[in-house]
Chains A and B, each alone.
Chain A
Amino acid sequence: MPDWTRDGKLRAGWAFVVLALAFALAFGSVVLWLAHDQQRVVETAMRLQDQTMPEIVRHQRLSRNLEQLRQEGERVYAVATPQARQQALFVVTLVASHPSILDHPEARELARRVERFLSDAVRDAGSDDAKLMESYPEWQRLAARLGVLVDDVYIQGVNQAGGDLKDVLQAMEMARAKLFGAMLLVGIFLGVFLWLLHRHLIRPLQRIDRVLSRLHVDCPRPEFHNRQMAEIVSVERAIGELHDALRHNEAARQALENLANLDGLTGLTNRRCFLLQAEHELQRAQRYLRPIAVGMADLDYFKRLNDTYGHAAGDAVLRAFAVLVQESLRQTDLICRYGGEEFVFLFPESTVAEAEVLAERLRSRCADYDIRLPDERVVRVTVSIGLADAGQGSIESALKLADAALYTAKRQGRNRVVRADARPSGRPEHAEPDRQDIDQAE
């Protein structure tokens, strides 16, 4: 037993098979019906050719021979010499002996009677024409009967074809009506077929095409309704699953991207991502001769804070500072946790002086910012910031300048913003203690 449905929906293949079978059955029936009429026409035509036509010819031949018999009989009375009369009588005998006359009982009887009458009349009259003419009235009666028979036979012959032709005509008219019916049936089936095809296949496919062309993770999950074909429903269900998979993949991709670009503790851009983005910003600014500055910040005495309150407190301070930086700087500024308690900033479209304003605002807010630790204690930290112009050279050289400025800020007492000189010479590596050394001292 075939499975007609799947999940309560009709299988398209079976639907079309059923439709095709119904069409084949209906059309085949009409064709057989037509073939029956055609067979009737063929049989009638064959009968017309094989039986009726020969019969018509036979009647025509008989009619013609009877007429000739009448004419020759007339000639027996009309000719002037005994020889000619004998000649006419021979022809009468000849025609009366023709198989076509012998095959027809009435004609045979009448022809035999004519032949005997004329033979007797000629023999009895001898060479006496007057005596021969005495029998002429009787001959006229016989001739009249011959004439009637000629007409009857002729009409019978003509009528022979009438029945067959009528039969053929009826069959042809019936065949024409059936042919029209068959064409109508084909047209109806074709219309229904195309309508079903459009409704249950083409339109759903068009809808699927539209949905697929617009399928995106940001779009809501596509909805499909009232589909009858199991195969279409399967495709639509697969599209929904595809959309779910797209969203899932997008979320996974986003998570991986965050993992690669963001700092896990603070959520700020990490060093690798910052350097990439900063490099692009520097190229753009240098190409269009736009101002750009970098800053490097370091929390003052952070090691001491860690030692005093523990690493959890240090992490909380770092997170709080990250939030503060995001709130204090512009959205267009790049902020990065560079490592430990060290942060770097990039100020696009900003001179060092403009960046100094922003950095000062950050330093000021930080100094007054209460940071609640996990144990509910509140601490405050200060930050030292070094700024440098990044309009020339690489990001690394700009960061070196900012780092030197930061060193200066640390050395000058911390909690301050220092602008670097134009050339990176603020921190001789061997002459003065390294900033790391200062940090270690903190």
Chain B
Amino acid sequence: MAVSVTLRRCLLALALALPSPLLLAGDWHVALGMMDRGASQPGGLTAFNEDVAREICRRVRVHCVTVNLPFGEILEGLAEGRYAMGFGNFLRTGEREKRIAFSVPLWHSSSRLIARADVQRRLSDATLDSLQRLRVTAVPGSQQHAYWQSVAASRDLVVVPAGSMGEIIGMLRRGQADVALVPVLSAYALLAGEATGEFAFVGPPAADRGLGGGVHVGLPKGNESLRKTVDKALVEMRADGTLHRIVRRHFNFSLD
């Protein structure tokens, strides 16, 4: 028995000491979040995530097979081990940590309220904590949706789920929801294509209560060598400026 335990420990130590590409041999299936169901948005955040994913794969010398998925399905796929990496703009929360692992922070985010301009004028002095008796929306599975659900009852809010990030603008326009709580970068992507003055931000940004902080790459739980490999690649990308060059390629501002 003792020999068996010792042998297992030796094999484990040997496995940890081996180069990562050997352990992670084979294609990596990478899930990329998309703004609209069924199609990825050209450029912007999705393209940024894809470039980062391919750079990681290049550095660890594996072939990446990317899949575009709605945000809500990425976490499930990672939890089931179907994907090696998931780029769903994940904020790190205790609930998520029970299901998936996280890389080092990729960039930093906060959340903001957006509304039609007329609603924004009505709620001009409102803050996230002062909203009451409104129809609010967010993408199910997101932190923003979780927040709405946590305060809906106490503030008499009606939470209207959005099918995807891309549907939010339509819901606001059609009056199906008064305000939406979205990640700032997503809000930028959503509003960038809209007519000037039709939509506006409401109140100050929020980074507390799980609505902001570091954005991580989602990873399957329990694969420590994979996590270390991805972290090492990200740290090196940040150190040699590759990550910042990718950001500059897709955004005219810093995501860091």
Instruction: Report the interface size for chain B: residues with CB under 8 A from the other chain.
Output: 24
Query: Given the complex, which residues of A lie within 8 Å of B60, measured CB to CB?
Result: none
**Is there contact, CB below 8 Å, between A91 and B253?**
yes
Please tell me if A90 contacts chain B, counting CB pairs below 8 Å: yes
Query: Given the complex, which residues of B lie within 8 Å of A64, measured CB to CB?
Result: 254, 256
Question: Which residue on chain B has the smallest CB distance to residue A86?
Answer: B196
Please, how many angstroms separate the alpha-carbon atoms of A68 and B256 in the complex?
12
Minimum distance in angstroms from B128 CB to a CB of chain A: 12
Minimum distance in angstroms from A77 CB to a CB of chain B: 16
**Is there contact, CB below 8 Å, between A102 and B196?**
no
Question: Which residue on chain B has the smallest CB distance to residue A100?
Answer: B108
Query: Given the complex, which residues of B lie within 8 Å of A82, measured CB to CB?
Result: 196
Please tell me if B252 contacts chain A, counting CB pairs below 8 Å: yes
**Is there contact, CB below 8 Å, between B196 and A97?**
no
Minimum distance in angstroms from A204 CB to a CB of chain B: 57
Minimum distance in angstroms from A135 CB to a CB of chain B: 17
Please, how many angstroms separate the alpha-carbon atoms of A252 and B43 in the complex?
120
Please tell me if B115 contacts chain A, counting CB pairs below 8 Å: no
Please, how many angstroms separate the alpha-carbon atoms of A94 and B183 in the complex?
10
Please tell me if A156 contacts chain B, counting CB pairs below 8 Å: no
Query: Given the complex, which residues of B lie within 8 Å of A98, measured CB to CB?
Result: 108, 110, 184
Q: Which of B222-256 contact A (CB under 8 A)?
A: 252-254, 256
**Is there contact, CB below 8 Å, between B196 and A99?**
no
Cβ-neighbour of A68 out of B109, B204, B253 (below 8 A): B253
**Is there contact, CB below 8 Å, between B191 and A102?**
no
Please tell me if A151 contacts chain B, counting CB pairs below 8 Å: no
Taking chain A's interface residues, is the majority helix, strand, or loop, or is none over half, making it mixed?
helix
**Is there contact, CB below 8 Å, between A99 and B252?**
no
A interface footprint on B114-154 (CB within 8 Å = 1, 0 otherwise) = 00000000000000000000000000000000000000000
**Is there contact, CB below 8 Å, between A96 and B205?**
yes
Please tell me if B192 contacts chain A, counting CB pairs below 8 Å: yes
Q: Which of A111-129 contact B (CB under 8 A)?
A: 112, 115, 119, 123
Given contacts A68-B254, A119-B200, contact A99 B191 (CB under 8 A): no
- Chain A CB count within 10 A is highest, among B185, B207, B212, for B207
**Is there contact, CB below 8 Å, between A94 and B184?**
yes
Given contacts A90-B191, A94-B185, A94-B188, contact A112 B197 (CB under 8 A): no
Query: Given the complex, which residues of A lie within 8 Å of B213, measured CB to CB?
Result: 99
A interface footprint on B78-106 (CB within 8 Å = 1, 0 otherwise) = 00000000000000000000000000000
Minimum distance in angstroms from A250 CB to a CB of chain B: 73
Please tell me if B71 contacts chain A, counting CB pairs below 8 Å: no
Q: Which of A19-76 contact B (CB under 8 A)?
A: 61, 64-65, 68, 72
**Is there contact, CB below 8 Å, between A83 and B196?**
yes
Please, how many angstroms separate the alpha-carbon atoms of A154 and B205 in the complex?
23
Query: Given the complex, which residues of B lie within 8 Å of A95, measured CB to CB?
Result: 253-254
**Is there contact, CB below 8 Å, between A99 and B254?**
no
Please, how many angstroms separate the alpha-carbon atoms of A99 and B92 in the complex?
14
Minimum distance in angstroms from A84 CB to a CB of chain B: 10
Please, how many angstroms separate the alpha-carbon atoms of A73 and B256 in the complex?
19
Question: Which residue on chain A has the smallest CB distance to residue B111?
Answer: A97
Question: Which residue on chain B has the smallest CB distance to residue A83?
Answer: B196
Cβ-neighbour of B108 out of A68, A91, A99 (below 8 A): A99
Cβ-neighbour of B212 out of A87, A99, A112, A119 (below 8 A): A99
Query: Given the complex, which residues of B lie within 8 Å of A68, measured CB to CB?
Result: 253-254
Please tell me if A103 contacts chain B, counting CB pairs below 8 Å: yes
Please, how many angstroms separate the alpha-carbon atoms of A96 and B184 in the complex?
10
Please, how many angstroms separate the alpha-carbon atoms of A112 and B187 in the complex?
17
- Chain A CB count within 10 A is highest, among B191, B196, B252, for B196
**Is there contact, CB below 8 Å, between B112 and A93?**
yes
- Chain B CB count within 10 A is highest, among A68, A96, A112, for A96
Please, how many angstroms separate the alpha-carbon atoms of A61 and B247 in the complex?
14
**Is there contact, CB below 8 Å, between A102 and B201?**
no
Query: Given the complex, which residues of A lie within 8 Å of B204, measured CB to CB?
Result: 108, 112
Please, how many angstroms separate the alpha-carbon atoms of A64 and B187 in the complex?
22
Given contacts A83-B196, A99-B212, A99-B213, contact A72 B205 (CB under 8 A): no
Please, how many angstroms separate the alpha-carbon atoms of A61 and B207 in the complex?
16
**Is there contact, CB below 8 Å, between A97 and B108?**
no
Query: Given the complex, which residues of B lie within 8 Å of A112, measured CB to CB?
Result: 204
**Is there contact, CB below 8 Å, between A123 and B197?**
yes
Please, how many angstroms separate the alpha-carbon atoms of A430 and B27 in the complex?
139
Cβ-neighbour of B192 out of A87, A96, A100, A123 (below 8 A): A87
Query: Given the complex, which residues of B lie within 8 Å of A93, measured CB to CB?
Result: 112, 184, 187-188, 201
Please, how many angstroms separate the alpha-carbon atoms of A91 and B109 in the complex?
13
Query: Given the complex, which residues of A lie within 8 Å of B112, measured CB to CB?
Result: 93, 97
Query: Given the complex, which residues of B lie within 8 Å of A72, measured CB to CB?
Result: 253
Minimum distance in angstroms from B159 CB to a CB of chain A: 22
- Chain B CB count within 10 A is highest, among A61, A87, A93, A103, for A93
Question: Which residue on chain B has the smallest CB distance to residue A67?
Answer: B254
**Is there contact, CB below 8 Å, between A102 and B256?**
no
Q: Which of B141-176 contact A (CB under 8 A)?
A: none
Question: Which residue on chain A has the smallest CB distance to residue B213?
Answer: A99
Query: Given the complex, which residues of A lie within 8 Å of B201, measured CB to CB?
Result: 93, 115, 119
Minimum distance in angstroms from B248 CB to a CB of chain A: 12
**Is there contact, CB below 8 Å, between A97 and B205?**
yes
Minimum distance in angstroms from A68 CB to a CB of chain B: 6
Minimum distance in angstroms from B14 CB to a CB of chain A: 30
9 A-B pairs with the lowest CB-CB distances in the bound complex, closest first: A97-B205, A97-B184, A86-B196, A99-B207, A102-B207, A99-B108, A97-B110, A99-B212, A94-B188
What are 22 A-B interface contacts by the 8 Å CB criterion?
A61-B108, A64-B254, A65-B254, A83-B196, A85-B196, A87-B192, A90-B192, A91-B188, A93-B112, A93-B201, A94-B185, A94-B253, A95-B253, A95-B254, A97-B205, A99-B212, A102-B110, A102-B207, A108-B204, A115-B201, A119-B200, A123-B197
Q: Please list the residues of chain B having a beta carbon within 8 angstroms of any beta carbon in chain A.
A: 108-110, 112, 184-185, 187-188, 191-192, 196-197, 200-201, 204-207, 212-213, 252-254, 256
Q: Please list the residues of chain A having a beta carbon within 8 angstroms of any beta carbon in chain B.
A: 61, 64-65, 68, 72, 82-83, 85-87, 90-91, 93-100, 102-103, 108, 112, 115, 119, 123
Known: A99-B110, A102-B206, A102-B212. 20 other contacts (CB 8 A): A61-B254, A64-B254, A64-B256, A85-B196, A86-B197, A87-B192, A90-B188, A91-B188, A91-B253, A93-B188, A94-B188, A94-B253, A95-B254, A97-B184, A97-B207, A98-B110, A99-B108, A112-B204, A119-B200, A119-B201
